[in-house]
Structure formats: structure tokens, C-alpha cells
Amino acid sequence: MKYFKLILTLTLLSNIAFAQKVNIKKAFKHAEKQTAVMLTEVEKAKAKTTNKKLVSPRTIEKGELKLVASRDWTSGFFPGVLWFLHENNKKNNTWFTEAKKFTADIEEEKTNGTTHDMGFKVYCSFGTGYRLTNDPHYKDVIIQSAKTLMTRFNPKTGVILSWDHSRDKWVNPVIIDNMMNLELLFAATRLTGDSSFYKVAVTHANTTMKNHFRSDYSSYHVIDYDPNTGAVLKKNTHQGYFHESAWSRGQAWALYGYTLCYRETKNPAYLAQAENIAKFYLNHKNLPEDLVPYCDFDSKKIPNEARDASAAAIVASSLYELSAYTPDKKSYYQQKADKMLHSLSTKYIAPVGEAKGFILLHSTGSAPSNSEVDVPLNYADYYYLEALLRKRQLK
């Protein structure tokens, strides 16, 4: 009987391990087919509008492909998707040609100082392109974009201002998403040798670590600062259901942000922060079995709440990188990321030829605002492909 139970246990474990394998080659073939559809759909959408500033696909709205201008915070993700496809398959020159074309559409953002989203817009497009091409023009755009982002840093608060809007709600709002833009500043230090970019990045990371997190390492979405004293005025969760709830994509931005900060600085405090954020996320009682979270961990609608595939993609990508810095938890983090990718590549994948060419389904932008609920989103596709590439690099 004991022998039978042992065999059964080993068989079950073997089946689980097999089920969580991700076929990277198959996943990229699917992504290529979908993106070919997307390129056609983009041209159709552009033909329907007289607004020449609409350059990047963001989501599907009322059955139609929604294009956004370069100033939109999501504009850089589709160029990044094209660069990832080029990285995976350099034999197909289409991806290189299209990546260059869609990336060029984002360049005017390098001097747009009205937003903190410079990393999302420019680093995901020009930054990814520069990593693959070493194009000196891309380098110049990255540096100029970093200089523009620096103008939003306030030494009194120790953080980079996020939003210029909603002044009726906040005086000096800083969102957890802003951690993602620090990668641009670290890159600018490497490219110029100017440490001022680095200093602002670590100051922002340190201040955020001090003020954005609860005792369980979950993160608020928005912290409002007094711009003259640096005092914290409010702690809110704008895209969650209530201020003390854990908005799942916010936790994903936090994990990714502190993992990249450790990569760039080797400061053990950032590694510890990333691991604690991962622990909160992975051990949460409301994390579904397939590891694709509800849009808010504390939603009262669970289990009838919308999922957020984008959060799972961001976390999976983060965990693959984090596993490289934590030998004692390497296998654990990789297994969790594998399970997330397996879920995304099987249960959340768009059928070939459908969804206007988006790769993943079932992401959520802001459920409390009833905005982009259970739809494809370009940043879900971006981080999904990045996670696939990171998994292959680990091999």
C-alpha cells in the first residue's frame, strides 16, 4: 500500500510538472500569427480615422480596435512586442521593419515633460530596440527622454511626480507604476556616465519603499505628497476597490520595479523588498489556482471578479529575473512563473485570427471605473513575450 501511494504521488507530481511546461516555440508562433493580424487591423483602423496622431493599438473597445497617440502611456508596448518578435525570429525581416516603423512614431515623446510614463513609452520601444540594434539614434532618444523625466523629480519629496491631472483629488500624486520608469534612468547613467540619473532613481525607490507599502508588503496605488515639505498627505488605491485593498497590477509593478532596482544597484534592501512583495503575492489566499489574479485581491466580488492577465504576465517576467538573484529560491520562483505562463498560454490565449490580433485575453485596466474590464491589453502581450524570452534565456 505504501509503495502504491508513493508511485501515485510521484505520478501526480510528474503530471503536474508536465502540465506546467511552456512550449516557447509554439507560443511565439502563435504570437507571430496574431501580430500579423494586428498589423492588418491597425491599417484598417487608421483608414477609418482622420486623426494622424493615432499610432499604436491599445485594446478593443466596443468591438473595434482602439488606437492611441504617442502621448498615451501604453503607446510603447506594441513597438516592444515587435522588437521581441524580432529577437525571437531574426530570419523574418518583417518584425525588424515594423518595429522600427512603430518605434519611430513614439520619438516625439522624448521631450514630453507632462507625464511620468517615459519608461513605458520610450524604454519599452526605443530601449528594447537599442538593446537589439545599438542604433546610436536610439541611444540619443533614451538619453533625452531620461533628461525630460528628471524634470519631474522634486528633491523635497524625494520622488518623481506621476500625474498632472486630478488636482481636485491630489496635490502631488505618485503611483506605484512609477517604479517601472526607473529603468530608463539607470540606462541613461550607463549610456552617459552621468550619475545624477542614478541618484534620482535610487532616491525615488527608497522613498517609495518607505511610504508606499503596508506591513504585509502590499502596496498602495497612490501616495500624495506635500511638494514643499515631502510630508505624506494621503495613501490611496485609485484603481482598487477601496484604499486598503491590494490592486493586483500594482503589486506586479512593485515586484518588477524592485527586482530591476536590485539588478541595477545590487542593494540588498531592494532584493529583500522584491522577495517580500513576491511572498505577499504568491501566498495570498485569494490568488486563484492558475496563478492569474483577480484584478483586486480584496474584491468583494471574488470568485466572480474579472481576472487580470496583464498582472500575471508582469509577475511571471519578474519572477524569472528574481530567480537569478536568489539561488535558494530559484526553483520555487521559476516553477511559479512557469505555471503562470502555462495558464496564460493555454487558458488566456486569443484564438488565431481573432481579437484583432492581440495575443492574450482577459486583462483588466481599472475595474472600479468600469474601464477596460476583461479585454485584451497591449501591455499584457508585451510582458508575456518578455517572460517567454526570459524563460528561454534561463535554459
Give, for all 395 residues of the chain, the pLDDT tens digit. 444 344 434 433 443 444 468 999 999 999 999 999 999 999 999 999 999 999 999 999 999 999 999 999 999 999 999 999 999 999 999 999 999 999 999 999 999 999 999 999 999 999 999 999 999 999 999 999 999 999 999 999 999 999 998 888 999 999 999 999 999 999 999 999 999 999 999 999 999 999 999 999 999 999 999 999 999 999 999 888 989 999 999 999 999 999 999 999 999 999 999 999 999 999 999 999 999 999 999 999 999 999 999 999 999 999 999 999 999 999 999 999 999 999 999 999 999 999 999 999 999 999 999 999 999 999 999 999 999 999 999 87
39: in domain: no
211: in domain: yes
Looking at residue 166, its pLDDT comes to 82
112 with 188, same domain: the answer is: no
Domain encompassing residue 69: 53-151
84 with 199, same domain: the answer is: no
**Where is the domain boundary, 182, 214, 236?**
236
Alpha-carbon distance 273 to 209, whole Å?
A: 8
With a threshold of 0.85, does the pTM exceed it? yes
User: Binding site: what residues are annotated?
Assistant: 117, 177, 237, 249, 253, 366, 369
163: in domain: yes
120 with 218, same domain: the answer is: no
197 with 227, same domain: the answer is: yes
User: Binding site for substrate: what residues are annotated?
Assistant: 117, 177, 237, 249, 253, 366, 369
4: in domain: no
- Residue 177 designated active-site: yes
251 with 378, same domain: the answer is: yes
9: in domain: no
**Where is the domain boundary, 179, 211, 236?**
236
250 with 232, same domain: the answer is: no
3: in domain: no
**Where is the domain boundary, 100, 117, 151?**
151
230 with 317, same domain: the answer is: no
The backbone region for 341, taken as left when phi is positive above 0, alpha when psi lies in -120 to 50, beta otherwise, is alpha
191 with 323, same domain: the answer is: no
Q: Catalytic residue, from 72, 135, 164, 177: name it.
A: 177
Looking at residue 6, its pLDDT comes to 43
- Indicate the number of domains in the chain: 3
118 with 197, same domain: the answer is: no
Provide the angle, in degrees to the nearest 10, between the axes of the packed helices 93-104 and 24-47.
50
Burial class (CB in 10 A: 0-12, 13-18, 19+), 93: exposed
Per the CB < 8 A criterion, the answer to whether 317 and 390 are in contact is yes
CATH number reported for the structural domain that contains residue 359 in this entry: 1.50.10.10
> What are the distances in angstroms from CA 294 to CA 67, 222, 281?
26, 20, 12
76: in domain: yes
278 with 374, same domain: the answer is: yes
CB atoms within 10 A of CB 330: 14
Per the CB < 8 A criterion, the answer to whether 64 and 56 are in contact is no
256 with 390, same domain: the answer is: yes
Q: Catalytic residue, from 117, 296, 298, 381: name it.
A: 117
27: in domain: no
79 with 120, same domain: the answer is: yes
β-strands 173-175, 159-160 pairing: unpaired
